[in-house]
Structure 1
Amino acid sequence: MEKRTDYCGNIDENYLGKTVSLDGWVQRRRDLGGLIFADLRDYKGIVQLVFNNDDSEIFAKAETLRSEYVINAIGTVRSRGPKAVNPNMKTGKVEVVVEKLEILNKSKTPPFEIADNIDTTEETKLKYRYLDFRRPVMQKALRTRAQIKHSVNEYLYDNGFIDIETPNLGKSSPEGARDYLVPSRVYPGSFYALPQSPQLFKQLLMVGGFDRYFQLAHCFRDEDLRGDRQPEFTQIDLETSFMSAEEIQTVTEGLIARVMKDEKGIDVKLPFPRIEWDDAMARYGSDKPDIRFGMELQDLSDIFADSEFKVFKGAIDNGGQVKAIVVKNNADKYSRKNIDAYTEYIKRFGAKGLAWVKYNDDKLTGPVAKFITSHEDKLVERLSLENNDLVLFVADRKKVVDDALGYLRTDIAKDLNLYDPNEFAFTWVVNWPLFEYDEGIQRWTAAHHPFTMPNEEDVHYLNDGEDPHKAYAQSYDIVLNGYELGGGSIRIHDREIQEKMLKALDFTPERTNAEFGYLMDALTYGCPPHGGLAIGLDRFAMLLSGKDNIRDVIAFPKNSNATEPMTHAPARVSKEQLAELGIEVADEKE
């Protein structure tokens, strides 16, 4: 086998008349009797090979070629005839007349065609992931991810950051998602935990005087999966000393600008807009707002405070809200059936119903129009209604209203193509609450994590006798097109404040010492003010690749059931392995 001259997808008019040696996979073969055409593919693209029956030995080999055979072909590049030019291919004006052919390996018929836009289940593609990799769309996605990593490394090295690895085997943390536990053979009954993030380690690096740290950190969380979540993922992890939140955000913007320029050729406008958390929730119903389109939430509680419509007035009297979104100039596209489907959709967020009216011929029509006629003029003016507008109302508790209309807003925008899918709209959401109430576990938790510094003017809320849940944090999220791309904060560097923060989360002094004694001790040895941020590499690659699932940019992901169809992980292990670890499994039935 001779050394490859170039990749298949690079063979163009510059090679006319030259002899080339090409390696790759057979995409397809077409036998025209005395002439055989074969498309040869590698990750750069496809070039057409030509075999004629002048050489019976080569022609006989060509007749045996099938899809996904691996071959080496040596031949002369010539122009295609004018009628044979393929304008959709970089190599479409040329072909290679093969003079030597070597079959390097044969292939069984693949379970799916190696092409984009194939009608195959995700489970099948994951089972045969090594074949799925050959599809151009997968090659592009994983190479996009690699380019992001390359740009990140270069930018951070150029800006004085040092790459330091932190342990994958650590101690279980009581906060955040469930840990993945690793049993210790040496210490039976004891367990390591895989890191949910390098949070405490990177803070300790700041105590140690490493001014600017970064790491492409592998993280693990045992939580329910969805399209933008995996049990193991990679984050671009940063930490700095002696920098303000604004300075950290500026460095991060430079990083993102570098990636966008390198990968997409886009000069993003800096600085990114900043939205207060309260404002984001009020206007978009989301702490990760998609700002590519309008349709903002509008609070109508003051208008309906004295309404006779019991649904609206009842919500307001109980401390709730009435908010609406306006679907501009599209009312005629929505039937009662369409809106009923939206009503069912928002019930998953706790909403009891969806009220609506249409505005046409300068008047309101629809199921609730008769109940709000006394407020019609105020409503038309507040919402700037025009003919063919649809108004959708939700009346309930603030969180329910924001969640329901926030998700509905993005759903409708997608249905109506209200934004350019090729636009990249970054924004910062800043000044978050320090705590949030988790309805699932019925208790207050840290909105970011327990090591987040409150705003200076809010530190007093952590004192005994005050309400810590009124405090806001020096925290910030970077958002892209409705996805949380990353988040960070200024950290607590004072032991007394850290103790008060953990106390507000119901940690006793004994528990604080048991779980975080090493951190509390470090804070007493001249810990510098510090802060940082982590960006989700998988999510960033997903968005830059135009995908809607991070499994498409991870080489060997888990499916929605947290299993790996190719290797069948997780799997049972032998009794001997369990015995070494001092572990008994309650039920070993298959």
Structure 2
Amino acid sequence: MHTFRSHTCAELNKAHVGETVRLSGWVHRVRDHGGVLFIDLRDHYGMTQVIADGDSPVFAELDKVRSEWCIRIDGNVLARDESLVNPGLPTGEIEVFVRDLEILGAADELPLMVFGDQEYPEETRLKYRFLDLRREAMQTNMKLRSDVVMSMRKRMWDQGFREYQTPIITASSPEGARDFLVPSRLHPGKFYALPQAPQQFKQLMMVAGFDKYFQIAPCFRDEDPRADRSPTDFYQLDMEMSFVSQQDVFDTIEPVLQGVFEEFGGGRKVDTDWPQISHADAALWYGTDKPDLRNPIKMQIVSEHFAGSGFAIFASLLEQDGTEIRAIPAPTGGSRKFCDRMNKFAQQEGLPGMGYIFWREKTADSVAQELGIPVKEAQAKLKSGEVEGGMEAAGPLAKNIGPERTEAIRQQLGLGVGDAAFFLGGKPKAFEPVAGRARNVIGEDLGLIDKDRFAFAWIVDFPIFQLDEENGGLDFDHNPFSMPQGGLDALLGDPLHVKGYQYDLACNGYELVSGAIRNHKPEIMFKAFELAGYGKDEVMKRFGGMVNAFKYGAPPHGGCAAGVDRIVMLLADEANIREVVMFPMNQRAEDLMMNAPSDPTSDQLMELGLRVIPQD
């Protein structure tokens, strides 16, 4: 028999009754039923119930084991009484009577329990991650992650891609985040960088003629943590293709992700229609470039209804250049209570409030107020038809702008009785983020979001440049290596109007994919960087390897990268990315288990020619 096991803890069933078996695993739970011990023995694959009574030669020794001890047992497979069968367990028809026992690893008092669903502070979970990972939910998440990566690899190979590895120690590359720098021992005072992405190398592969590349690539970025982002490193499905257009990239990656979400989505609906939405429209309709399309709310511009109106705040605002008023429709949100709740939300976001209108059936109270008559008289007039009933608009804005403008807004937004609309105004870039969050809150609170669905959208036509408000100059709005639509000619006009062949894929409010058709022509690259304030010498210093390669017959090429961690987070229905990463950092980018980052020794610093300046 094998030294540690003849079967896993998920394999035994009625067909094994009467056999002598050997199992190894962890003590999940111990139950003492008056001289009979029941132990749930767990390994990576499942659970088996083992029992012992006074007839077992190791009963006394088994009585000493506790939760999470690692043990080996030998025993006989017995059929459970029919009344004791556990149909929820693959091994639920049998149990193993223990004849022999070996303690493989005793456990100290546990800082967190593996059995059960107790909640523990994040600090405890991360410090004792090896115990946290033993829990069923974490085992399930990590197996899901592994299976997703395997599926991605297979689907990419099936489309004619090969996997190639790119360097981990390299030069700094601008990917929109801070680099992790690595000091060089052989070149004192100089530094390598951990790659934020394999961007330059995968483009160089296309120049080298490899045509189709992919990699499950580790990426390193010194970023502030968020629930959906690691502060140090992450993995992405990275791909690049030669002789392709933007649509070719979409047509390649869509079936890969569609298949992964259908395979691992747990039966949730996976949309097959992936709309392509311009960056400008996404900002207008959703207030974000990663919209959640499960939420049906689409914002609209309603400036014309407030220009010259009795609502002085919006009317005067619209007299300033570059301002507008947007409405957020709220189907079924037509109550004073809900409108007050959203007004409070706006105040928590740092705004003085948020204007609103809601529509309701005309009431005797409102008629009495409008006509200056008693409520009973108003009731009589409504009942007799002397005053027409039906729908009325309510709220401070409705009173200020009057019934005609209010009705025009209602018709434009397609709203009716029981609905509401909320309004924000100013320069769009200033209020769009708040408007986007308000849209999410409204959709969530009103139950408008279809939670049992994955909804995808390509966001396209990103601007290449943005205005730096501090110095008034231009800066790259997104990836500096994207091909501008219109090529060099487009860069000779107004740079702020230049769009790039650049795209993101959003799903349920998260960015899953980012990519572009690359700028593979040196003259276009030099011009783009010149507009952003980088001279030719600076471009050659920072990206000389890639620019030189483009002088030797570079093919048109493009690609994208899909975030593995974020995809698994969605599939696992987790709200925090740390739940699907094996050994994550905490919110302060610390590894509490391995005590990183740590202080270097004096010898290490001396060897590298470095000195640490103490921080006050």
Aligning the two structures, in what range does the TM-score lie when normalised by the shorter sequence?
Answer: over 0.9
Residue aligning to 2:378: none
- Whichever residue aligns with residue 505 of structure 2, its letter is I
Aligned 1:385-396 pairs, distance under 5 A: 385-396=415-426
Deviation larger for 210-219 or 333-342: 333-342
- State the AA in 2 paired with 1:180: F
CA distance in structure 1 between the partners assigned to 2:340 and 2:110 by the alignment: 44
Q: What are the Cα deviations for residues 13-53 of structure 1, in whole angstroms up to 9, with x where unaligned?
A: 45445443322111111112221111112233333222121
Residues 4 and 72, structure 2, Cα contact 8 Å, conserved in 1: no
Aligned-partner residue type, residue 134 of structure 1: R
- CA distance in structure 1 between the partners assigned to 2:400 and 2:312 by the alignment: 9
For 2:382, the equivalent position in structure 1 comes to none
Q: Is the 8 A contact 2:343 2:355 kept in 1?
A: no
Q: Is contact 2:270-2:453 (8 Å) kept? A: no
Question: In 2, distance between residues paired with 1:443 and 1:113?
Answer: 57
Whole-Å Cα distance in 1 between the matches of residues 537 and 42 of structure 2? 64
Structure 1 residue 344 corresponds to structure 2 residue 371: no
SS at match of 1:368: helix
What does 1:106-117 correspond to in 2, within 5 Å?
106-115=106-115, 117=117
Cα drift, residue 162 of structure 1: 2.2
- Contact 2:51/2:98 (<8 A) preserved: yes
- Alpha-carbon spacing, 1:327–1:138, altered in 2? closer, same or farther (3 Å): same
Match for residue 505 of structure 1?
A: 532
Letter in 1 for 2:46: G
Q: Residue type matched to 1:341 in 2?
A: K
Q: Is residue 253–residue 270 contact of structure 1 (8 Å, CA) maintained in 2?
A: no
Please say if 1:585 is aligned against 2:612: yes
Letter in 2 for 1:493: H
| 2:229 counterpart residue number | 229
> d(CA) in 1 for partners of 2:305 and 2:453?
36
8 Å contact from structure 1 (residues 353, 394) kept in 2: no
Q: State the partner residue of 1:544.
A: 571
Q: 2:381 aligns to what? A: none
Match of 2:522 among 483, 486, 495: 495
The equivalent of 1:527 in structure 2 is: 554
**Size of the alignment, in residue pairs?**
582
Residues 311-365 of structure 1 deviation map (CA, whole Å, 9 limit, x = unaligned) = 2223322221211222222444935652343113433xxx553112332112222
Tell me if 1:467 matches 2:469: no
Q: Calculate percent identity across the aligned residue pairs.
A: 38
SS of 2:153 mapped into structure 1: helix
Look up the SS of the partner of 2:41 in the other structure. strand
Cα distance in 2, alignment partners of residues 71 and 512 from structure 1: 62
The 3 A distance-change label for structure 1 pair 205 and 420 is same
| TM-superposed deviation, 1:485 | 0.2
- Corresponding letter in the other structure for 2:444: K
Structure 2 CA distance for aligned equivalents of residues 446 and 191 of structure 1: 25
Per-residue displacement from partner, 1:384-408 (whole Å, max 9, x unpaired)?
Answer: 2222223221112112332212112
* 1:470 CA displacement: 0.5
Say if 1:166 and 1:201, in contact at 8 Å, map to a contact too: yes
Match of 2:259 in 1: 258
Alpha-carbon offset, residue 58 of structure 1: 1.8
- The AA in structure 1 aligned to 2:285 is R
Shift of 1:79: 4.0
State the 1:175 CA deviation. 5.7
Which residue identity is paired with 1:582? G
Residue pair 2:294, 2:451 contacting (<8 A) in 1 also: no
- Out of 292, 295, 300, the position equivalent to 1:293 is 295
Question: What amino acid is aligned across from residue 326 of structure 2 in structure 1?
Answer: K
Amino acid at match of 2:243: F
Change (3 A) 1:379 1:258: closer
Equivalent residue letter for 2:284? A
8 Å contact from structure 1 (residues 275, 427) kept in 2: yes
Write the distance in 2 (CA, Å) between the matches of 1:337 and 1:427: 32
Correspondence for 1:247: 248
1:426 correspondence with 2:453: no
TM-superposed CA distance for 1:81, in Å, is 3.7
SS of 2:527's equivalent? helix
Q: Does 1:373 align with 2:375?
A: no
Q: Which moved more, 1:121-130 or 1:395-404?
A: 395-404
Q: 1:40 maps to which residue?
A: 41
- AA aligned to 1:488 is G
Q: SS of the counterpart of 2:216?
A: strand
Q: Which range is displaced more, 154-163 or 28-37?
A: 154-163
Q: Give 1:150 deviation, angstroms.
A: 0.9
Could you tell me whether the CA contact under 8 Å between 1:462 and 1:468 is conserved in 2? yes
Deviations 1:564-588 (Å, cap 9, x if unpaired)? Answer: 1111211111122111111111117
Residue 125 of structure 1 aligns to a residue whose secondary structure is helix
Q: Deviations over 1:505-536 (max 9, x none)?
A: 11012212211222222111111000010111
User: Could you tell me which of 470, 478, 483 is aligned with 1:448?
Assistant: 478
* 8 Å Cα contact 1:218/1:234 also seen in 2: yes
**Which ranges of structure 2 fall in alignment gaps of 5 or more residues?**
362-390
The structure number with the bigger radius of gyration is 2
Q: TM-score, normalised by structure 1?
A: 0.93
CA RMSD of aligned residues (A): 2.3
Q: 1:237 & 1:335 partners in 2: Cα distance? A: 44
- CA 1:312–1:289 in 2, change beyond 3 Å: closer, same or farther? same
8 Å CA contact retained: 1:179, 1:195: yes
Q: Report 1:119-268 matches (<5 A).
A: 119-173=119-173, 176-230=176-230, 231-264=232-265, 268=270
- 2:52 and 2:98 in contact (8 A); partners too: yes
2:128 paired with 1:98? no
Q: Is the 8 A contact 1:459 1:471 kept in 2?
A: no
Gaps of 5+ in 1: none
Distance 1:399 1:77 in 2: 69
CA distance in 2, matches of 1:443, 1:35: 79
CA distance in 1, matches of 2:273, 2:294: 17
Task: Classify the secondary structure of the residue corresponding to 1:542.
Answer: helix
Cross-structure match for 2:371? none
TM-score, normalised by the number of residues in structure 2: 0.89
SS of 2:103's equivalent in the other structure is strand
Per mean C-alpha deviation after superposition, the further-off stretch among 113-122 and 490-499 is 113-122
1:291 to partner: Cα distance? 0.7
Q: CA–CA distance in 2 between the matches of 1:168 and 1:37?
A: 50
Q: Which deviates more, 558-567 or 406-415?
A: 406-415
CA distance in 2, matches of 1:442, 1:217: 37
Q: Which moved more, 1:169-178 or 1:181-190?
A: 169-178
